[in-house]
């Protein structure tokens, strides 16, 4: 039994560095993606029909196609542009690097999903509160800051939590589709690499899955805490909504 525990522990240590790659991909693309998604959601909700349609088309295209193909497509398009754009600009080495192109594709993807979530939330911001704010003589900026934004975030939060977990899972695709530089391997790549050495599918893939599972649960815990804080204005007697570990079918 101690032999098994030792093997397992050694395996968990092996996967520690690869896991950092997945965390890097998810963290970078979520941070950038969220900011852009807010812009796209407002564009989608805005009055300008051209901008709104463009945003809708973008959201539809990236939600309607597999991320797996988006990776291949982006890499090959960026490669085709390399000789014309990136190389003359001298940024070829950065732009074509998996540590850049990976997050880039993930950002394109998460912006679409997050924008859809935020757009849905925007449309359900309570009318009454907006009218009340207007009746108070608030400026549009004040209304945005005090009514629209907090409401939108609160409504979107549970769905966004799911998106964060899914984005983390999606990082598993990066090194299945892009070239590997040196020994920069992520969790999936390491699992496949180890499997091809000794065929111990159960050990390698289980530990890989364990990393994803534990980090997913961690995300749910942290985001759940944040959600509780956001909802603390609701009275204690009222049933406060809570987040539980339950990735949903939102995507």
Partner 1 sequence: MKKLLLAATALALLSSAANAQSIRVGTEGAYAPWNFINEAGELDGYEIDLANAICEHAGIECEVVQNDWESIIPNLLSGNYDVIMAGMSITDERLETINFTQDYYPPDPSLFVATAGAEFDFDNLEGARIAVQGNTIQAAYAEENFADANEILSFATPDQTIADLAAGNVDLILADGSFLQPVVDNSGGAIVFVGPEVMIGGGVGGGVRKEDTELLATLNESLDALKADGTVNQLLAEWYGDDAPAY
Partner 2 sequence: MDTDPSLLARLVGEDIAFWFGYFTNGRHMAWYTSFRFTIIAALLGGVLALVFGVLGALLKRSRFLPARLIGGVYTGVVRGVPDVLFFLFFPLVFIQGLELVAAQFVCTPESIEAYQSNWPPCREASLYFSTEQYLVLACFALGIVYGAFVANVIHGAMRAVPSGQLEAARAYGMSEGQVLMRIHIRQMWVYALPGLSNVWMLLIKATALLSLLQINDIVWWAGQLGAPNFLPQVGMVHGDWRWGYYTALFVFYILVTLLSERFFRAVTKRARRGMPVES
By CB under 8 A, name the binding residues for partner 2. 60-61, 63-70, 72-73, 76-77, 79-80, 169-170, 172-173, 176, 188, 191-192, 195, 198-202, 205, 208-209, 212-213, 216-217, 245-251
CA dihedral (232, 233, 237, 240) positive or negative: negative
| Interaction partner, residue 24 (partner 1, partner 2, none; CB < 5-8 Å by kind) | none
Closest CA to 177 of 109, 115, 114: 109
Residue choice 8, 36, 54, 87 for contact with partner 1 (CB under 8 A)? 87
What φ, ψ does residue 76 adopt, rounded to 5°? -70, -35
Interatomic CA distance for residues 53 and 62, integer angstroms: 14
Cβ–Cβ < 8 Å for 46, 54 = no
Task: Take residue 203 and report the two structure tokens written for it.
Answer: 């050990």
Q: Is residue 180 near partner 1 by the rule CB under 8 A? A: yes
| Interaction partner, residue 170 (partner 2, partner 1, none; CB < 5-8 Å by kind) | partner 2
| Interaction partner, residue 181 (partner 1, partner 2, none; CB < 5-8 Å by kind) | partner 1
In a 3-state reduction of DSSP, which class is residue 109? Answer: helix
Neighbours of 113 (CB within 10 A): 24
Residue choice 3, 64, 90, 182 for contact with partner 1 (CB under 8 A)? 182
Residues that bind partner 1 (CB under 8 A): 79-80, 82-83, 87, 92-93, 96, 179-182, 195-196, 199
């Amino acid at each position: 039994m101690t032999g098994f525990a030792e093997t397992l522990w050694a395996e968990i240590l092996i996967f520690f560095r690869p896991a950092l790659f997945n965390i890097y991909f998810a963290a970078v693309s979520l941070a950038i993606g969220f900011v852009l998604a807010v812009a796209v959601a407002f564009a989608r909700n805005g009055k300008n029909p051209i901008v709104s349609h463009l945003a809708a088309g973008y959201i539809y295209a990236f939600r309607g196609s597999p991320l797996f193909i988006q990776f291949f497509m982006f890499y090959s398009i960026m490669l085709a542009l390399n000789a014309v754009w990136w190389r003359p600009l001298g940024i070829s080495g950065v732009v074509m690097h998996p540590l850049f192109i990976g997050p880039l594709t993930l950002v394109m993807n998460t912006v679409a999903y997050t924008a859809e979530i935020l757009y849905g939330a925007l449309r359900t911001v309570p009318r009454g509160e907006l009218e009340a704010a207007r009746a108070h003589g608030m400026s549009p900026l004040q209304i945005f800051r005090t009514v629209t934004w907090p409401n939108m975030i609160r409504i979107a939060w549970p769905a966004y939590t799911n998106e964060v977990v899914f984005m983390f899972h999606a990082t598993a695709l990066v090194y299945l589709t892009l070239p590997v530089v040196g020994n920069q391997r992520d969790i999936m790549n390491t699992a496949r690499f180890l499997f091809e050495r000794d065929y111990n599918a159960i050990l390698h893939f289980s530990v890989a899955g364990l990393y994803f599972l534990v980090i997913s649960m961690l995300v749910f815990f942290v985001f759940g805490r944040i959600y509780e804080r956001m909802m603390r204005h609701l009275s204690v007697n009222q049933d406060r909504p809570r987040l539980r570990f339950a990735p949903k079918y939102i995507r």
